[in-house]
């Protein structure tokens, strides 16, 4: 089959779109070659000639080609040399805050108030030995509030006294 440069360019654009669409997953040259209807070796050569970069370099740049992102290339050679697996290490993104903390002087009094008066439910009540991990939450919600006493392990004795002085008495 004879292809024109326009058809080749469109096929490689479809490949680059597929790379962008699957950003963050493993680079599968065989599947990308099927998108362009060519062999993997032909795709590698054609992609480099059209975009002046390798498939892996295009993958590293991701959908936003203007900015380079933090990447990591992990090459694991299987039975044949050159069977490299290229993976993108995603930066950690903080999307939600699942735990907030409120300092209290007396955890039992605070528990009575938050559960008995405000209608929250106990999410966790664990004696860790060095502290009591007591969290409450709105029923059905995943966000928790830690009812924390000032002191070890979060504070040294002097800081704990200063935080206690700032808290209103119940």
Predicted confidence (pLDDT) per residue in 8-28, tens digit: 777 877 887 777 777 667 778
**Rounded percentage of the chain residues whose pLDDT exceeds 90:** 25
Examine the pLDDT at 88 and tell me if it is beyond 70: no
Cβ atoms of 49 and 38 closer than 8 Å: no
Higher pLDDT residue, 30 or 145?
145
99-166 folds as 2,3-Dihydroxybiphenyl 1,2-Dioxygenase; domain 1 (3.10.180)
3-state secondary structure of 121: strand
pLDDT at 58 (0 to 100): 66
Cβ atoms of 97 and 143 closer than 8 Å: yes
pLDDT at 61 (0 to 100): 59
Predicted confidence (pLDDT) per residue in 94-147, tens digit: 667 788 899 999 999 999 999 999 999 999 999 888 889 999 999 998 899 999
1-91 folds as Arc Repressor Mutant, subunit A (1.10.10)
Structure tokens at 81: 């040399």
Greatest C-alpha distance within the chain: 84
Domain boundaries, the chain: 1-91, 99-166
Cβ atoms of 147 and 104 closer than 8 Å: yes
């Amino acid at each position: 089959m004879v292809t024109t440069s326009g058809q080749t360019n469109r096929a490689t654009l479809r490949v680059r779109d597929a790379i962008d669409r699957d950003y963050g997953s493993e680079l599968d040259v065989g599947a990308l070659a099927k998108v362009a209807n060519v062999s993997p070796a032909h795709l590698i050569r054609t992609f480099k000639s059209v975009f002046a970069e390798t498939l892996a370099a295009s993958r590293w740049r991701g959908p936003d080609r203007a900015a380079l992102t933090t990447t990591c290339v992990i090459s694991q050679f299987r039975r044949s040399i050159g069977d490299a697996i290229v993976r993108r290490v995603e930066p950690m993104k903080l999307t939600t805050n699942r735990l907030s903390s409120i300092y209290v002087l007396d955890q039992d009094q605070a528990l009575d108030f938050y559960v008995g008066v405000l209608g929250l439910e106990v999410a966790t009540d664990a004696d860790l030995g060095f502290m009591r991990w007591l969290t409450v939450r709105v029923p059905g919600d995943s966000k928790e509030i830690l009812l924390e006493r000032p002191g070890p392990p979060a504070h040294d004795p002097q800081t704990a006294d200063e935080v206690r002085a700032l808290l209103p008495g119940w």
